[in-house]
């Protein structure tokens, strides 16, 4: 079997699992913001994301949009992308998407929260050498139970966490976060 056939086979498995995960989340939740992203990636990265998508449907794991009742949102500073992002990351072992989202929230910010639903559901498509695989990016909506910040990121990618009333210009997925905020709290900030 050639490496192209191998990538195609891996991509096919990734797409099947992503489809199952996507439909399971759609059946479980409503009222979330949907978006799609396209990524052209090198072969080694394509293989990594396709394997993660094949294993659980979510190559970037799960993320959390944590908020305080007055509408402040939690963002973390990710040094690898040099932007403010929503806390989140890959699944460990047999974790569920929700368990991974809450664990990553705790590691990257020290915040404890209660998941109340799905804020956003992304479809991330990956392309390489004529192959395509995709996976879901679930972003859970969670009400903060604690607000004191303590970053303890074992990956050392997160340098800071902060509550924001107005989102910084360099916020990844800014438009989608503002759309969710408008639905949840009314109006943009």
* Chain segment 120-162, per-residue pLDDT in tens: 999 999 999 999 999 999 999 999 999 999 998 888 899 999 9
Three-class DSSP labels, the chain = CCHHHHHHHHHHHHHHHHHHHHHHHHHHCCCCEEEEEEEECCHHHHHHHHHHHHHHCCCCCEEEEEECCCCCEEEEEECCCCEEECCEECCCCCCCHHHHHHHHHHHHHCCCEEEEEEEEEEEEEEEECCEEEEEEEEEEEEEECCCCCCCCCCCCCEEEEEEECCCCCCECCHHHHHHHHHHHHCCCC
**% of the chain exceeding 70 in pLDDT:** 96
pLDDT of residue 95 exceeding 70? yes
Range from 1-5, 11-15, 42-46, 81-85 carrying the lowest mean pLDDT: 1-5
Question: What class does CATH assign to 3-185?
Answer: alpha beta
For 81-90, how does the pLDDT look when each residue is reduced to its tens digit (9 = 90+)?
999 999 999 9
């Amino acid at each position: 079997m050639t490496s192209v056939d191998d990538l195609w086979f891996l991509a096919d498995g990734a797409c099947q699992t992503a489809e199952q995960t996507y439909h399971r989340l759609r059946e479980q939740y409503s009222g979330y913001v949907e978006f799609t992203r396209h990524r052209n990636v090198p072969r080694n990265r394509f293989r990594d994301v396709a394997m993660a998508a094949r294993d659980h449907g979510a190559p970037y794991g799960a993320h959390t949009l944590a908020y305080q009742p007055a509408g402040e949102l939690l963002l973390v500073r990710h040094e690898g992308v040099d932007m403010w992002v929503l806390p989140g990351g890959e699944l460990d072992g047999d974790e569920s998407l929700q368990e991974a989202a809450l664990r990553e929230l705790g590691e990257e910010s020290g915040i404890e929260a209660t998941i109340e639903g799905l804020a956003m559901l992304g479809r991330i498509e990956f392309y390489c050498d004529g192959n395509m695989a995709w996976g879901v990016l679930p972003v859970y909506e969670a009400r903060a139970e604690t607000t004191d910040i303590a970053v303890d990121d074992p990956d050392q990618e997160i340098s800071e966490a902060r509550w924001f009333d107005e989102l910084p210009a360099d916020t990844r997925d800014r438009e989608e976060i503002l759309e969710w905020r408008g639905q949840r709290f009314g109006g943009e900030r």
